[in-house]
Chains A and B, each alone.
Chain A
Amino acid sequence: MTAPTPVMRKSRSTWTPAQIALTVVAAALSLIWVSPLVWALSTSLKTPTESVTSPHWIPKDFTLDSWKSVFEAGNIPNWFVNSLVVSVCVTFIVMLVASLAAYGFARTEFRGKSALMALTMAGLMFSPAILGVPLFTTVQSLGMVDTYWGMILPQCAPAAMVYILYKFFQSLPRELEEAAFIDGAGRWRIFFTIVLPLSKPSLSAVGIFTFIASWNNFLWPYMVTNNPDLMTMPNGIATVQNAFGIVWPKLMAGGLIAGLPLIIVFVFFQSQIVRGVAHTGLAGQ
């Protein structure tokens, strides 16, 4: 497993025995990890009858019917747009609200600050999974069941993101802000023109992570939307069926359509996303 890096550096070829072994193990594990997706793709290209007759990898009757019918008949394009609207709004609001609050906690003084900070930290322990029922009745009494707002706003109180950005702002040197202040800049201008540009890596980490979490969020949209027209992708896939029972190729095609956008984005922005997720996660340390 632990190929001795220095040894390898000494040898001429990088294909040392250790590296070969490592590559083989990596390939095997990757194969296992990718095979479910390959199987899903293969199923989605089969006819419904072929999908339930003796299992095999390569479709005999190669067909794109399931993909077509998912795009044409189903609600999936609609859910896709809903997912996009919700995730984009959540990401934008979270980034704005959390960075403001984090800056407030890191750089300003006001009465009750430490109490509010403690309250925020306590919020790390609550999630829609625990609060589901009372959160639903709250949103119900705000008249937001089955609305975009009802889906979006409850996802926009992320104590964890405030904490991550708070840690980051604390680590920024004060001098720049002070200098700008002496030059007569207001604190809002300082925040938007100096602090935010300095925080791009952290902010994009928070943004990426929020977007992934929101795009994949199932539980809350499941609770708060009943109207199939308003459902997001994960929710619609799980609770609305077409009227012809379970047709595996269609189910798999729909699933891939829901899952592929983020995977494709990942292929292109791999290092940013890796850094983003790692940074957001590590900040919890």
Chain B
Amino acid sequence: MSSVSSTTTAVAPATTLRPRTATAAESARARWGRRFQHGGWFVAPFFVMYGLFVIVPVVRGLYLSLTDANISGDHTSFVGLANYREALKDDLVWSSLWHSVKFTMYVVPCIIVVALLMALIAHHAVHFKWLWRLCFFAPFLLPSAVVGNLWWWLFQPTNGMVNHVLGLDTPWLAQKSTAMTAVVIATLWWTVGFSFLLYLAALQNIPQHLYEAAELDGANAFKRLLHITVPNLRNITGLVLALQILASLQVFDQVVVMYQFGPGPEESTRTFVQYTLEQGFTSYRVGYASAISFILFLIIAVVALGRMWLLRNREEAAR
């Protein structure tokens, strides 16, 4: 999500860049630069937290993935790469990974299209702007467990709202063919508000004079949308895409609540995160669970690095 390049742009000591002025001020500035050599104290609290709850678990996870550790922590022995070998042959690893990927492929385009649509509406509307904004964004403020329970109820075949409104009797959550669709609908409803706000903010940042100029050139509303709005939203779309892909691959909460922590009809909604937690906390195989976690991490890392690479390429092209 960020580019590594920014990490290397260390802030140069201010003194070197400035012209000579009064000596007192100059020496003060020199001290300012020097004394901040001990600025490490500023980052120390963060790194205590970060070390304990990110670095240690990563290292520990790597170690655990090479053992047959169980949840009680005793009887641990080193098993080398056996967990990884097992994971490659484990059908459930691949099917649950596929479910997470499939979910991502369905939900991300839906979110982008609907969020953009909502943002265009809220941006251009003159009346009741605040109301539309409230309605579109409100579901994002609900806890995932509430969202899961809510849609579990809405999708009930005989008493649920969805079938009542649509005049259907589809058992949404009970059959393989609709199970994932139901999760996608619930997720779209819940999370689209966040992307909607990002788009809205981006729309407000597009300079008005571009539109005015285009209008003078005789471009109609549709042309202005196509030639001004869309190109100006390219960056934000890239961001939304990346954020949503990364979040969707890690989907867990709403799915398990909608399916009461089960794997869904014919195991069609078990997500990857769910499978790691099942291995770790239901089957008590902490070692194996750690190993498969790193498979997901690899995929996440590829996506994140891929985005960085794209960004850097674009920056270079822009230069």
Residues of chain A touching chain B, judged by Cβ–Cβ distance below 8 Å, are 1-6, 8, 14-15, 18-19, 22-23, 25-26, 29-30, 33-37, 39-40, 43, 51-56, 93, 96-98, 100-101, 103-114, 116-121, 123-127, 129-142, 153-154, 156-157, 159-160, 162-163, 167, 170, 174, 178, 181-182, 187, 191, 212, 215-216, 218-219, 223, 233-235, 237-238, 248, 251-252, 255-256, 258-259, 262-263, 266-267, 270, 274-275, 277-279, 281-282, 284-285
Contact = CB atoms under 8 A, between A and B. Distances in A.
10 contacts: A26-B132, A30-B135, A109-B33, A114-B8, A130-B250, A130-B300, A138-B57, A141-B73, A178-B29, A278-B200
Contact of B125 (A19, A34, A36, A126): A19
Nearest to B27: A182
A56 B313 CA distance: 56
A175 to B, nearest CB: 9
A110 B11 CA distance: 11
Contacts of A255: 142, 145-146, 149-150
A218 B276 contact: no
Given A33-B189, A36-B161, A135-B53, A107 B36 contact: yes
A137 B57 CA distance: 8
B45 A97 contact: yes
Contacts of B118: 29
A263 B134 CA distance: 9
Given A34-B138, A110-B38, A157-B46, A281 B239 contact: yes
A45 to B, nearest CB: 14
B23 interface: no
Given A30-B132, A281-B197, A55 B143 contact: no
B143 A274 contact: no
* A interface secondary structure, majority: helix
Nearest to A4: B221
Given A124-B1, A178-B32, A259-B142, A130 B52 contact: no
Interface residues of B, number: 122
A112 B122 CA distance: 47
A281 to B, nearest CB: 5
A132 B256 CA distance: 16
Given A1-B120, A29-B118, 5 more contacts: A23-B128, A36-B150, A218-B145, A237-B149, A252-B150
Nearest to B280: A133
A101 B47 contact: yes
Contact of B161 (A2, A55, A136): A55
B126 A36 contact: no
B153 A43 contact: yes
B38 to A, nearest CB: 7
B87 interface: no
Given A29-B118, A129-B252, A134-B290, A215 B143 contact: yes
Given A3-B124, A134-B58, A284-B243, A237 B143 contact: yes
B50 A2 contact: no
A132 B145 contact: no
A157 B54 contact: yes
**5 nearest interchain CB pairs?**
A108-B39, A104-B42, A134-B61, A101-B46, A278-B201
Contacts of B153: 40, 43, 248, 251-252
B159 interface: yes
B45 A100 contact: yes
B49 A284 contact: no
Nearest to A233: B143
A124 B194 CA distance: 19
A284 B242 CA distance: 10
Contact of A6 (B117, B201, B202, B212): B212
A98 B46 CA distance: 7
